[in-house]
Amino acid sequence: MSAVNKTSTSKHRTLGYIGLSVLGACIGLLFLLPLWWTFVNSLRPGGDTFRFLNPLQWETFFTLTPSLDNYAALLSSDLGLATWNSIFVSIVTVIIGLAICSMAAFALAAIPFRGSGVVFIVVVVSFLIPFDAIAIPLADLFRDWNLQNTYTGLILPGLGNGMAIFLLRTFFLAIPKDLVEAGRLDGLGWWGIFRRIYLPLSVPSLIGAGLTLFLFQWQSYVWPLLNGTDAQHILGPIALSNLQGQFNVDYGVMFAGSIVLTVIPLAIIIGFQRYFIQSVTTTGLK
Amino acid sequence: MAVAFAFLAPALISLVVLRIAPAAVALWESFFRESFLRGGTVFVGLENYADLFGNADFNNALLVTLVFSAIVNPLQIGVSFLLAVLYTRRAAGSKIWRSLVVLPIAVPPAVSAVVWSVIYRPDGLGNSFLALLGLPEQPFLTSPQQSLASIMVLLSWIGVGYWMLFLIAGINDVPTELYEAASIDGASAWRKLWSVTFPLVRRPLAFVLVADTVSNFLIFAPVQILTKGGPSGSTNLLMYDIYTRAYTLGDLNKAQAEVIILVLLTLVVVAVQFRLLRSSDSA
């Protein structure tokens, strides 16, 4: 009796295992589909985008004659320049932003001073005010300051990131104070303690904070739309959305641009996967 | 003290000038109005706010935003939770399938909007799939009844994987002994999900609820790229309404008042959610 029971539960288990696997696979593939379709269409001429859609066929999702023509065309187009702008703006933001945010986090975590409570409140308030909501009043201020259509104007709002400061501060708090004492005995000042002790110990959290800064800039849409729309300073997402809705759109080039704008952050996320997951989840849970 | 401020100054200045000041400016300017008679602006108190609440377009935008959040937030969180449960079960290749669900978070919002604008075309991929299932062709974005739902689907494609990451982290933190104990007590899979997993991922779930709500209040790119608030105002979310008020209608003062309303609305909803979550915690 018990033997029968056992085989039936193990059969039940196997069925459940197969069922869950199939369900998981179907859902995963469904999520991949829009991006895969974009990728396939970036490899064929724009005129063919709608050719294999009705009815659905294998050629909707595969092509036997892939070509990189659209990517070559992208290089010489405005969208190509816009992508370079996005890369430039994001890199500068990450470098300067990390310096600024890690210094602030260090002061909040390691240096005891009066008023640190107030400063912390400023950080928290600035992070409670959603940036996109205040982008319109800020764009008005930037017009007064003659920062419209400049790289400075595009980069500035991404530098001070409350989230990155928060993340780094949490990590810095875990660094034992004994190390600070030891540094002092070796004659280090605060700057030396920051540079020689805190920064080298916190590479993982610096990568996490750097990713936060990078994604903020790379994905931003409202701000570059309000602040940088001339041909020299336009960013990738804005240039791409300008294509959409135009009468004579080359869908092939549009899809190639979409893939490039997606693959760059994707490569960075995959490269730093461990730190990305860590930074994402610790901000939410701890 | 001086040292601390030297370290803090760059970040503090940028936060005050680029985050807090524009919010303060918006609040200040929302009490003024352009005066054509005297040139410059005049103080009008709360008149801009009163005008907004008497304005049909604004009221519609407010209503659309509230309906949108009331549907999209529970939907996204529910789906993320179920997917998190699915992908933490023992199954073949679940890490791979899971990463496919996470993949869209790398896609910038403007890119996803552009890609989906092609999917939603009458001759696009969306209708090809409906045809495969034997369903009639749908208008998607050009129909006032379907446009908001179409945007919700697109946003869920982007967002669900992101929120799922938090919930997976939460589920993985649940000690396995609890499941073993439940198994010994003869609990069914549903029972375990409801009585063990669900209560123990309350913290990440609460975070996801609040963060998702805030991000959905600020949706802009898909509206601007796909529907421009239409057809007939059916997708005119507050962020887009603020943008058109400021730049198409050129009424910056009223747009500032609307910014303040949006920020307050966000803060109130977040505060209410916190209250509810806390009281259910102690219960």
Distance (Å, whole) CA A50 – CA B126: 12
| Interface test with chain B among A17, A87, A217, A281, by most B beta carbons within 10 Å | A281
Cβ atoms within 10 Å of A205's Cβ, excluding its own: 23
Nearest chain A residue to B158, by CA? A31
B128 in contact with A at a CB cutoff of 8 Å?
A: yes
d(CA A236, nearest CA chain B) in Å: 9
Q: What is the 3-state secondary structure (H, E, C) of chain A?
A: CHHHHHHHHHHHHHHHHHHHHHHHHHHHHHHHHHHHHHHHHHCCCHHHCCCCCCCCCHHHHCCCCCCCHHHHHHHCCHHHHHHHHHHHHHHHHHHHHHHHHHHHHHHHHHCCCCCHHHHHHHHHHHHHCCHHHHHHHHHHHHHHCCCCCCHHHHHHHHHCCHHHHHHHHHHHHCCCHHHHHHHHHCCCCHHHHHHHHHHHHCHHHHHHHHHHHHHHHHHCCHHHHHHCCCCCCCCHHHHHHHHCCCCCCCHHHHHHHHHHHHHHHHHHHHHCHHHHHHHHHHHHHC
Query: Nearest residue on chain B to A189, judged by CA atoms?
Result: B3
Q: How far apart are CA B241 and CA B62, in angstroms?
A: 9
Q: Which residues of A touch B98 (CB under 8 A)?
A: 24, 28
The answer to whether A202 and A172 have CB atoms below 8 angstroms apart is yes
pLDDT tens per residue, range A246-266: 777 888 899 999 999 999 999
- Give the tens place of pLDDT for each residue, A127-168: 888 888 899 999 989 999 999 899 999 999 999 998 889 889
How many whole angstroms separate alpha carbon B219 and alpha carbon B212? 11
Q: Rounded mean pLDDT of A99-120? A: 91
Residue B178 confidence (pLDDT) above 90: no
Tell me the shortest Cα–Cα distance from B262 to chain A, in angstroms.
7
Provide, rounded to the nearest whole percent, the portion of chain A with pLDDT above 70: 95
| pLDDT, position A7 | 65
ipTM of the shown complex? 0.88
Judged against a pLDDT cut of 70, whether residue B18 lies above it is answered with: yes
CB–CB of A122 and B20 under 8 A?
Answer: yes
Phi, psi of B33 (to 5 degrees): -150, 145
pLDDT at B195 over 50: yes
A101 band by pLDDT with thresholds 50, 70 and 90: very high
Q: Is the pLDDT of residue A117 over 50?
A: yes
Integer Cα distance of A152 and A92 in angstroms: 10
Q: Which of residues 63-92 of A touch B (CB under 8 A)?
A: none
Give contacts of B 144-163 with A, CB under 8 A: 157, 161-162
Contacts of A104 (CB under 8 A, 6+ apart): A123, A160, A165, B7, B8, B10, B11, B12
| A119 contacts B8? CB cut-off 8 A | yes
Tell me, yes or no, if B90 comes closer than 8 A to chain A by beta carbon.
yes
CB A93 within 8 A of CB A217: yes
* B27 in contact with A, Cβ within 8 Å: no
Grade residue B196 by pLDDT with cuts at 50, 70 and 90.
Answer: confident
Q: How many angstroms separate the first and last alpha carbons of chain B?
A: 45
Q: Does A28 touch chain B (CB under 8 A)?
A: yes
CB contact B4 to A (< 8 Å): yes
pLDDT of residue A286: 45
Report yes or no: B269 at the A interface, CB cutoff 8 Å. Answer: no
Lowest mean pLDDT segment, chosen from A40-44, B6-10, B39-43, B81-85: B39-43
Inform me whether the C-beta atom of residue A95 falls under 8 Å from chain B C-beta atoms. no
- Express each pLDDT in A143-153 by its tens digit: 999 998 999 99
| Structure confidence at residue B279 (pLDDT) | 67
Q: Does B103 touch chain A (CB under 8 A)?
A: yes
Q: Which residues pair with B33 in a beta bridge?
A: B42
Mean per-residue pLDDT of chain A? 87
Nearest one of A28, A22, A66 to B160, comparing CA atoms: A28
pLDDT reading at B201 higher than 80: yes
Report the C-alpha gap between A234 and A213 in whole angstroms.
19
- pLDDT for position A104: 94
Q: Are A265 and A190 contacting, i.e. CB atoms less than 8 angstroms apart?
A: no
| Residue A91 C-alpha, separation from nearest chain B C-alpha, in angstroms | 16
The three-state secondary structure class of B158 is helix
Interface check for B92 against chain A (CB to CB < 8 A): the answer is yes
Which residues of chain A does B86 touch, with a Cβ-Cβ cutoff of 8 Å?
20, 23-24, 27
CA distances for A119 relative to A130, A213, B9, B24, angstroms: 19, 21, 10, 18
- With bands split at pLDDT 50, 70 and 90, how would you rate the model's confidence at A37? very high
Structure tokens at B52: 């907004």
- How distant is the Cα of B24 from the closest Cα of chain A, in angstroms? 9
Question: Chain A contact for B273, CB < 8 A?
Answer: no
pTM for this predicted structure: 0.89
pLDDT band at B283 (very low <50, low <70, confident <90, very high): very low
Residue B161's nearest CA partner among B106, B209, B241 is B106
